[in-house]
């Protein structure tokens, strides 16, 4: 044990050193130097619904489609599209990356108009499918050297230009209102930076899509100015000519900062102002609550101890009265300890992932790295969950340790798996590419049941060896009568009241998190996120301790479950906010999208409930032990 801290310190230092010297790159993070004439591959990702620029735009769908879905009729490379390798997190977050027939060579064919292919026999049925997707604001997602192709947009709030990832499949606004126009021409502007003569790096990918109608079988004109739009009527068979033009433009953006333009999507001032605002309020409240608590508790303690010393016959009152009850086994200790164990596993996962993100290991080039790190952390923190669950279970007076270990290891993965499986069925039904592939499902089963569950069992073994936590006061033989409790201390009311504060600290950041989860926008404000997570943890702990104290003062000694519920109260507000987000930011047309949204929201709320509930429970447990070890009991 003694050698562990120095060892960890060495590892952290090595990682920090490696990151600082740039000697150490995660896959996808190392610069690729191209020479003139070298092939620059263009990869295509699934089509996603996009929030179009304006501030009150609503997302119309949540379903991704494969680029090579036959109904889109996009040009395919010779010999059929080939799937590109992807990380686990990338697959889970809906990336489906394939190669493409675009022929791009470094600094060659600058400004040449080229035909990609001419697609014949696009049926009316396909045209309807395409038109529907255009109406739902679907966007194409291309990747060149790890950079997403973006549209350059003007931020109306501060006049900055920024890159909005993805570009429109078509256009159904303005002059073509009555019928959507398909974009069949792409102006691709590749920005390159030359760190040394003869070496070129891609530092920006911009695409201006446009619709060129008229006869589709002659050579491409790329004349975007005078073209009429390409409208696909739904009762005819069409021919579509796809064309593109690549322009190489030198840029002084170095490779290291090439992502900055993409990540400017949200004005950082919004983060700052709102976050500082809520931080100040919440920190102030936390300090106030802790001070009130500390003062009244220390007053209570000195009074209790003084009464005992003077052997006054005066009756005990307040929380001291229930000293013989506070550590009485609560109802259903099994479920409570399993929830706490799983919550602790999730807490550890969130904490470590945030540290990774803060250290800058989760490069946006490395697609899905956030989700991958989360999955791996969760898997390997199985031991934490098992250990805590079994110790809490023993401390609560539970006896069936094997069952506890088994349930801790299996229930949460099974619930999540079942939900994901159901959502998958809906995705498959909707013909979406977002369904998790079979191989990935198997991998997840292997991770959870093959690694996490055994680790959890090992943790449970050590937990039961360490046994129950010693309690400072003994439990009476006969339970006390509980007087009627005030309304605001009833479990549901307490949970709702207590949940407001942590939710209030988080809801600004929550907007960005939900937008990036559902509207596939980049989220890299990890500093803000970590700060918010810390504040939420702190607030949850403080508020749960406060409510537990109130409960005990009201002689309501069944605090275990209440502590968990008041801690997890913010999950209710998260659910309400999720529904509000749906009403205000989404206008989902299909039933599958609605089911998907509710399914993901349910998972999010469940995980939040477990994490904050665990924080509330553990904090209250700690506080109750401190409280009752401070007084003298005869």
Ligand X SMILES: *[C@@H]1O[C@H](CO)[C@@H](O)[C@H](O)[C@H]1NC(C)=O
Q: Which residues bind ligand X (CB under 6 A)?
A: 107, 110-111, 189, 247-249
Cα–Cα distance for residue pair 338/385, rounded to 1 Å: 8
Element (H, E) at 206: strand 199-210
Supply the minimum distance, in Å, between the C-beta of residue 151 and ligand X.
12
**Shortest distance (Å) from residue 222 CB to ligand X:** 12
CA–CA separation, 469 and 449 (whole Å):
29
In the complex, the smallest distance separating the C-beta of residue 263 from ligand X, rounded to whole angstroms, is 21
**Least Å from the CB of residue 579 to ligand X:** 43
Q: How far is CA 369 from CA 302, 353, 363, 606, in A?
A: 53, 10, 7, 23
Task: Pick the closer one to ligand X by CB: 200 or 378.
Answer: 200
* Closer residue to ligand X, CB minimum distance, 203 or 529: 203
499 and 573 Cβ atoms separated by less than 8 Å: yes
In whole angstroms, how close is the CB of 224 to ligand X at the nearest point?
Answer: 12
Shortest reach from residue 176's CB to ligand X, in Å: 25
CB closer to ligand X, 153 vs 303: 153
Burial class (CB in 10 A: 0-12, 13-18, 19+), 57: middle
* Count of all residues that appear for the chain in the document: 634
Structure token digits, residue 65: 């489609």
Q: Which is nearer to ligand X, 207 or 545 (CB)?
A: 207
CB of 15 to ligand X, least distance (A): 38
| Minimum distance of ligand X from residue 208's CB (angstroms) | 9
Among 394, 393, 318, residue whose Cα is nearest residue 628: 318
Rounded to a whole number of angstroms, the minimum distance from the CB of residue 242 to ligand X is 20
CB nearer to ligand X: pick between 123 and 253: 253
**Least Å distance between CB 248 and ligand X?**
4
Closer residue to ligand X, CB minimum distance, 148 or 613: 148
Residue among 587, 478, 436, 541 at smallest CA distance from 95: 436
Give the Cα separation of 163 and 151 in Å (integer).
Answer: 6
**In contact, 503 and 575? CB cutoff 8 Å:** no
Q: Residue 514 has which token pair?
A: 């939900």
d(CA 345, CA 392): 14
Shortest Cβ distance from residue 247 to ligand X (Å)?
A: 5
CB of 190 vs ligand X, minimal distance in Å: 10
Identify which of residues 206 and 346 has a Cβ nearer to ligand X in the complex.
206
If the CB atoms of residues 188 and 275 are measured against ligand X, the closer one turns out to be 188
Nearest distance in Å: CB 251, ligand X: 7
Closest CA to 564 of 480, 462, 475, 494: 494
Nearer residue to ligand X within complex by CB, 36 or 82: 36
Beta-carbon contacts of residue 317 (< 8 Å; ≥ 6 apart): none
Would you call 76 exposed, middle or buried from its count of C-beta atoms within 10 A (0-12, 13-18, 19+)? middle
Strands 113-122 and 238-250: antiparallel
Q: Listing from the earlier edge strand, what are the strands of the sheet with 150-154?
A: 113-122, 238-250, 185-196, 199-210, 150-154, 161-165
Radius of gyration of the chain, Cα coordinates, nearest whole angstrom:
29
With contact defined as beta carbons under 8 Å apart, do 440 and 91 qualify?
yes
DSSP E strands: which ranges in 238-292?
A: 238-250
Taking the least distance from each CB to ligand X, the nearer of 235 and 252 is: 252
Which of 181, 40, 44, 17 has the alpha carbon at shortest distance from 105? 40
Residue 231 phi/psi, 5-degree rounding, is -105, 130
CB atoms within 10 A of CB 9: 10
Nearest CB to ligand X, comparing residues 210 and 369: 210
Closer by beta carbon to ligand X, 206 or else 627: 206
Long-range CB contacts (< 8 A, 24+ apart) of 15-20? 15/359, 16/359, 19/359, 19/360, 19/361
Instruction: Tell me how far, at minimum, the Cβ of 209 lies from ligand X, in Å.
Output: 14
Structure tokens at 572: 């209710």
Q: Which is nearer to ligand X, 108 or 132 (CB)?
A: 108
Burial of residue 463 (CB within 10 Å: 0-12, 13-18, 19+) is buried
3-state SS class at 538: helix
Beta pairing, strands 42-49 & 138-144: antiparallel
98 φ, ψ (degrees, to nearest 5): -130, 165
Give whichever of 253 and 440 is closer to ligand X, judged by the CB atom. 253
> Which residues, 6+ apart, have CB-to-CB distance to 39 below 8 Å?
103, 104, 105, 106
Nearest-approach distance from CB 152 to ligand X, in angstroms: 8
- Residue closer to ligand X by CB (options 247, 410) is 247
């Amino acid at each position: 044990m003694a050698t562990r801290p120095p060892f960890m310190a060495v590892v952290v230092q090595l990682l920090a050193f490696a990151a600082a010297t740039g000697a150490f790159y995660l896959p996808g993070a190392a610069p690729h130097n191209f020479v003139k004439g070298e092939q620059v591959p263009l990869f295509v990702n699934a089509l996603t619904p996009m929030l179009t620029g304006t501030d009150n735009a609503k997302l119309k769908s949540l379903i991704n489609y494969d680029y090579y879905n036959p109904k889109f009729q996009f040009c395919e490379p010779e010999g059929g599209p080939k799937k590109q390798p992807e990380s686990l997190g990338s697959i889970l977050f809906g990336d489906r990356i394939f190669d493409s027939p675009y022929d791009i060579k470094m600094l060659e064919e600058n400004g040449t108009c080229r035909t990609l292919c001419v697609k014949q026999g696009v049926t009316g049925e396909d045209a309807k499918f395409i038109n529907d997707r255009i109406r739902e604001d679907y966007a194409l997602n291309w990747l060149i050297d790890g950079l997403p192709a973006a549209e350059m947009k003007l931020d109306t709030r501060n006049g900055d230009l920024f890159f909005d990832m993805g570009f429109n499949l078509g256009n159904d606004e303005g002059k073509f209102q009555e019928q959507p126009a398909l974009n069949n021409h792409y102006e691709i502007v590749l920005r390159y930076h030359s760190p040394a003569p003869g070496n070129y790096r891609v530092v920006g990918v911009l695409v201006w899509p446009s619709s060129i109608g008229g006869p589709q079988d002659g050579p491409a004109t790329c004349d975007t100015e005078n073209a009429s739009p390409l409208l696909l009527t739904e009762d005819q068979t069409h021919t579509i000519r796809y064309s593109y033009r690549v322009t190489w433009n030198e840029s002084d953006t170095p490779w290291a900062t090439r992502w900055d333009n993409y990540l400017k999507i949200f004005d950082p001032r919004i983060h700052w102002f709102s976050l500082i605002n809520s931080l100040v309020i919440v920190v102030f409240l936390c300090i106030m609550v802790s001070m009130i608590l500390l003062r009244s508790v220390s007053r209570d303690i000195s009074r209790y101890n003084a009464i005992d010393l003077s052997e006054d016959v005066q009756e005990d009152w307040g929380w001291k009265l229930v000293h013989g009850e506070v550590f009485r086994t609560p109802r259903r200790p099994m479920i409570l300890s399993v929830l706490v164990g799983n919550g602790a596993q999730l807490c550890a996962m969130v904490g470590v992932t945030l540290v990774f993100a803060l250290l800058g290991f989760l490069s946006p080039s490395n697609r899905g790295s956030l989700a991958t790190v989360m999955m791996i952390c969760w898997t390997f923190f199985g031991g934490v969950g098992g250990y805590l669950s079994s110790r809490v279970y023993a401390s609560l007076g539970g006896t069936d340790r094997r069952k506890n270990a088994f349930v801790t290891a299996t229930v949460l993965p099974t619930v999540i798996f079942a939900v994901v499986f159901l959502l998958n069925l809906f995705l498959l039904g909707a013909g979406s590419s977002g369904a998790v592939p079979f191989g990935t499902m198997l991998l997840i089963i292997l991770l959870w049941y093959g690694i996490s569950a055994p680790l959890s069992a090992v943790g449970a073994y050590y937990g039961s060896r360490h046994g129950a936590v010693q309690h400072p006061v003994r439990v009476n033989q006969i339970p006390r009568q509980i007087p009627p409790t005030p309304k605001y201390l009833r479990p549901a009311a307490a949970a709702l009241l207590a949940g407001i504060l942590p939710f209030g600290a988080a809801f600004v950041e929550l907007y960005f998190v939900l937008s990036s989860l559902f509207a596939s926008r980049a989220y890299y404000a990890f500093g803000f996120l970590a700060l918010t997570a810390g504040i939420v943890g702190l607030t949850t702990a403080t508020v749960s301790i406060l409510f537990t104290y109130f409960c005990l003062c009201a002689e309501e000694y069944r605090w275990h479950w209440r502590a968990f519920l008041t801690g997890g109260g913010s999950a209710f507000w998260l659910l309400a906010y999720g529904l509000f987000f749906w009403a205000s930011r989404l206008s989902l047309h299909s039933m599958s999208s609605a089911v998907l949204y509710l399914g993901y929201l349910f998972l999010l709320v469940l995980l939040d409930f477990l994490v904050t509930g665990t924080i509330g429970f553990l904090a209250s447990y700690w506080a109750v032990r401190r409280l009752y070890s401070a007084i003298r009991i005869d």
